[in-house]
Amino acid sequence: MPRVDRVVARPDLAEVRAAVGPKAFVELVRAGIDAARTALLSGERRGVPTEEEVATWVRERAGVLRAGRARRVINATGVMLHTNLGRAPLSERAAAAVAESMRGYSSIELDLGTGKRGKRAAFLEASLASLAGAEAAIVVNNCAAAVLLLLAAVARGRSVVVSRGELVEIGGGFRVPDVMVESGARLIEVGTTNKTRRADYERALDANPDCAAILRVHQGNFRQLGFVERPSLAELGDLARERGIPLLKDLGGGALVDLSSTGFVGEPIVASCVRDGCAAVTFSADKVLGGPQGGAIVGSSAIIERVRKHPLARALRLGRLAIVALEATLEAYLLERAWEEVPALAMSRTSVTELEARVDRWVERFAAVGISARRVATEAEMGGGTLAARTIPSVAVEISTDARDADTLARVLREGDPAVMGRVREGGVLLDARTVSAAEEEMLLARVVASFDR
């Protein structure tokens, strides 16, 4: 068998060693030799492997490991909040705040006036409450955590009424009925998949005097059309008030501004849910709000204080990086600069004319180096489990791939650095301009040109 020290010393593996570190490198070499030995003993291969073969195995294995690392991606899919690409890109303000804060320590839980322990994320939570028109707010790790924590704090050991049309899967295995079970609340289903009326809720509340709340789940990642009916949020708010129980809403999206001017209609604003009588609203920080991964509950002080005291609150709390990033993101809203600064908002408002001009420049640049491409009209989505089946017009460059197949070009682009993620359509690769920032344009063009050189 090849000797470990001889394979380790091979100059053609120096790059792998530099990339993975000395310990992991030696382990990889050992694993490579072991794999060859196992194959030999099982009769899967004949003959002792050469050092060369082990080196090849080590290089490939290191490549697989590296591929699992989070890498910078230029999103040319036209999906603004791409769940597989980390949802919302951060604003410059948020990125700068994170970079600045992470170089040293931070007063994240310190009252600088007294020098004693302070309330974690105090400014952040006050800002959120103010932007939502709510009395109070608490931030946690994501919206799934917010829903779990809210239900556990408000309804553990008691019943919660939910419409059958809202017992949905949000994605990534987050299913409303399952989360309720985990929270310790008992689910009372009312109505049918397509129709639920106020009377259905009333009957369920009459029959279950232990009811702790009514839960409304926003239908963000799917749409029901046709023979459908459910009470408005305000009607449910009235009912909850009459019965003296809170109305809880899992909103998901977390829009702090009205998106309808972009063409995306139907996404409720957090503040309107509060106004309609919700005692608590849960939402994500990295969907249409445009911040880092996080979740929020806004609502009445009484409920938020109960949530804060629940033991799960500590387990689900938001991390320091995310607190700093979210604070800076909200600052843009407070200063009324969100439409300019928050990328998810800014890109949804870019005009088609501007996108066309950008793509025309790309086409020219490609033509100059002999890459055949043309401008095409596309549709862009918000993504991230919001605004399902709603799109706005967008513009892409279609790179014709007569010379090679489109899947291969798309893969070469994905595997580059930075990776470029486009869409394959009818034999061509589409790169949508709406989700590519001005700062990324040159990199994108360079990656495409380089992928043709290969």
Footprint of ligand PLP on this chain (CB under 6 A)?
Answer: 142-144, 147, 170, 174, 217-218, 220, 250, 252, 284, 295, 385
State which residue, 49 or 385, has the beta carbon closest to ligand PLP.
385
C-beta of 94: minimal distance to ligand PLP in Å? 17
C-beta of 328: minimal distance to ligand PLP in Å? 19
How would DSSP label each residue in 7-43?
HHT-GGGHHHHHHH-HHHHHHHHHHHHHHHHHHHHTT
C-beta of 148: minimal distance to ligand PLP in Å? 9
Helix H or strand E encompassing 281? strand 280-284
Residues 6+ positions from 219 with CB-CB distance below 8 Å:
165, 166, 168, 388
C-beta of 331: minimal distance to ligand PLP in Å? 21
C-beta of 180: minimal distance to ligand PLP in Å? 13
State which residue, 89 or 295, has the beta carbon closest to ligand PLP.
295
C-beta of 319: minimal distance to ligand PLP in Å? 14
C-beta of 454: minimal distance to ligand PLP in Å? 37
C-beta of 385: minimal distance to ligand PLP in Å? 4
Alpha carbons within 13 angstroms on the beta-carbon side of residue 196 total: 24
State which residue, 74 or 147, has the beta carbon closest to ligand PLP.
147
> Cα–Cα distance between 222 and 115 in angstroms, integer?
49
Pick from 347, 296, 335, 291: nearest CA to 136: 296
C-beta of 238: minimal distance to ligand PLP in Å? 22
C-beta of 81: minimal distance to ligand PLP in Å? 10
C-beta of 141: minimal distance to ligand PLP in Å? 8
State which residue, 28 or 279, has the beta carbon closest to ligand PLP.
279
Angle between helices 176-183 and 143-155 (to 10 degrees): 50
Pick from 347, 171, 134: nearest CA to 259: 347
State which residue, 144 or 445, has the beta carbon closest to ligand PLP.
144
- Geometric angle at alpha carbon 272, from 323 and 386, rounded to 5°: 65
State which residue, 28 or 140, has the beta carbon closest to ligand PLP.
140
Strand, helix or coil at 368? helix
Task: Output the CA–CA distances (angstroms, integers) from residue 292 to 228, 320, 331, 332, in the order listed.
Answer: 35, 11, 14, 14
Residues 6+ positions from 259 with CB-CB distance below 8 Å:
265, 267, 288, 345, 348, 387
State which residue, 176 or 204, has the beta carbon closest to ligand PLP.
176
Length of the chain: 454
166, 189 contact by CB (below 8 A)? no
β-strand 295-299 against 280-284: which pairing, if any?
Answer: antiparallel
Residues 6+ positions from 403 with CB-CB distance below 8 Å:
none
Burial annotation 163-197 (CB, 10 A radius, 16+ → b, else e): bebbbbebeeebebeebbeebebbbbbbbeeeebb
> Cα–Cα distance between 312 and 257 in angstroms, integer?
30
Q: CA 360 from chain center: how many Å?
A: 31
58, 28 contact by CB (below 8 A)? yes
State which residue, 32 or 290, has the beta carbon closest to ligand PLP.
290
Shortest-Cβ-distance residue relative to ligand PLP: 252
State which residue, 139 or 412, has the beta carbon closest to ligand PLP.
139
State which residue, 33 or 247, has the beta carbon closest to ligand PLP.
247
- Geometric angle at alpha carbon 73, from 454 and 440, rounded to 5°: 85
> Cα–Cα distance between 273 and 280 in angstroms, integer?
9
State which residue, 32 or 295, has the beta carbon closest to ligand PLP.
295
